[in-house]
Amino acid sequence: MNMTYLLFIVPALLLSLYAQFKVKSTFNKYSKVRSSRGMSGAEVANTILRRNGMASTVSIEPIRGSLTDHYDPTVKALRLSEPVYGSNSISAIGVAAHEVGHAIQHQQQYGP
């Protein structure tokens, strides 16, 4: 195996594993902190969509798994994982708001 190949692949792999660890540990830490409003991730997502005039065009659906949340622009569906959809934690609200951001970007045809 070419050593130059390993010189680039190993650090990239280690960095991605570290990033994944940090995301999961931060999510777990703040999943224990409840929001003061008591709104679930799905409720927050719906509120943000409604305030942007998108509640009737974007559906919010629960999806299995943890941190599997995503916005599907092909069917305009916001899919929130079980720990996000029904939870009123700071983590759930943050992830839900982040995913709604993708829906807003899609609706506004935002590009890099």
DSSP 24-39: HHHHHHHTTSBPSS--
Q: Is there a catalytic annotation at residue 99?
A: yes
Kindly state the DSSP code that residue 89 receives in the 8-state scheme: B
CB count within 10 Å of CB 68 equals 13
Alpha helices by DSSP H, listed for the chain, are 3-30, 41-51, 82-85, 90-107
Active site residues: 99
